[in-house]
Amino acid sequence: MSEHEADVATLWTIFGFIGQNWGTAQTCEMPQSQFNQVIQWQIQRDRSYAGYYAQAVAEYKALYARYGQAAAGYLYRENQQPHPRLPDVANYVLLEFMRWNVAFGGFRTFKYENYNGWMGGGSYLKKPPPYRALPMLQQADEGERGVHE
């Protein structure tokens, strides 16, 4: 296995953790071969992704050396905070893998219900906070204004 193949396999492990953590692994229909292709397309589309993926792989391997099988959980938790340890990993790897998980069938697990603004790219890392981070009453008020204006 080449280093590149090992890196993509590590990314697949991270992707798989998201499905296991969310309980969507059974309904996500993105096979590993398609995942591998999408990773390649992302890098071809934007060379920055090679660095984002490399950073995620390096961090996962460092965490694996410390925590073993729990490494993906540490990577996920450390980068889901308002101030993640690795903002590029949080925004360009984990958030994207979450979207892929939902888009490729994971949505069925949630009974096809959208989290408020989630698929619109809500990230707690953005300033100001995304739609999904706003209080529910404010969301309803803004939604009504948008419909009536």
For the chain, percent of residues with pLDDT exceeding 90: 43
Determine the Cα–Cα distance for residues 54 and 11; give it in Å rounded to an integer. Answer: 9
Note whether 74 and 141 are same-domain residues: no
Note whether 106 and 134 are same-domain residues: no
- 3-state SS track over 1-51: CCHHHHHHHHHHHHHHHHHHHHCCCCCCCCCHHHHHHHHHHHHHHCCHHHH
Quote the domain boundaries for residue 142. Answer: 116-149
Note whether 136 and 73 are same-domain residues: no
Note whether 72 and 18 are same-domain residues: yes
Query: Which of these, 71, 97, 86, lies nearest to 15 by C-alpha position?
Result: 97
Note whether 32 and 102 are same-domain residues: yes
Q: What is the pLDDT of residues 35-79, one digit of tens each?
A: 999 999 999 999 999 999 999 999 999 999 999 999 999 999 888
pTM above 0.75, yes or no: no
The pLDDT score that the predictor gives to residue 47 is 94
pLDDT at 2 > cutoff 80:
no
Note whether 138 and 88 are same-domain residues: no
Note whether 130 and 101 are same-domain residues: no
Determine the Cα–Cα distance for residues 90 and 136; give it in Å rounded to an integer. Answer: 25
The pLDDT score that the predictor gives to residue 138 is 39
Determine the Cα–Cα distance for residues 125 and 79; give it in Å rounded to an integer. Answer: 10
Note whether 66 and 27 are same-domain residues: yes
